[in-house]
Amino acid sequence: MVESKLKLELLQHCRHDWMNKLQMIKGNLELSNIERAAQMIDEMVIESRQEALLTGLGTPRFSEWLLTYNWYRPGPLKLGYEFTERMKIPETFDSLLFNWAKTTTAAVDKALNTPSDQELYFLFEQQEDSFSIVVEYEGEPLKSSPEQIIQEPEDAKVEWIYDSSASFSIKLTFDYPVSKVKV
């Protein structure tokens, strides 16, 4: 029963988002702003493709959390994500990624000095024997340095690309287990 209610709630959020976007397209068409309406449709197609790549990632809990975070977000931090290609991560990484991402977003959200929206961005990349997630933030200065608030996940090679109070980029690389599933 609870699972059915959760599924219905997710569908309701999804339908609400699509209706808002369709109404914006319709409004632009009614105002004869054809270029903007076409641009919005293109953006929706790109967003849908990225969502499809996320849902096919192989990490159900992490993917669901990332896909729905902006619907329920507790503070001003918004999440974005991008895949450069289709990829599959072994489900054994699901808990690690979910817990790390949840802890990281909470720490960054808490470190924000402003009530205005800021974005934390996840970029997924696949290599032959590993996968990487580059996490980037650029916006209002944080209360603490990123290296003080972000815990580095276990089993990851961590590379701080840059960090300051107003921006950071960190690359996490995870090696696949020997029995990695090929895409």
Sequence-ordered list of residues with C-beta below 8 angstroms from that of 93, at least 6 positions apart, any chain: 59, 62, 174
Residue 6 CA to residue 11 CA, distance in Å, equals 9
pLDDT in tens, 16-54: 888 999 999 999 999 999 999 999 999 999 999 999 999
pLDDT value of residue 182: 52
- Classify 130 as helix, strand or coil: strand
Residue 139 CA to residue 119 CA, distance in Å, equals 7
For the full predicted model, state whether its pTM sits above 0.75.
yes
H or E element at residue 167: strand 167-175
**Residue 117, Cβ neighbours under 10 Å: how many?**
14
**How does the average pLDDT of the chain come out, rounded?**
89
Share of the chain above pLDDT 90, in %: 62
pLDDT value of residue 180: 47
**Mean of pLDDT values over 51-59:** 94
Residue 2 pLDDT > 80, yes or no?
A: no
Instruction: Tell which residue, 90, 158, 81, has the closest CA to residue 124.
Output: 81
Residues, the chain: 183
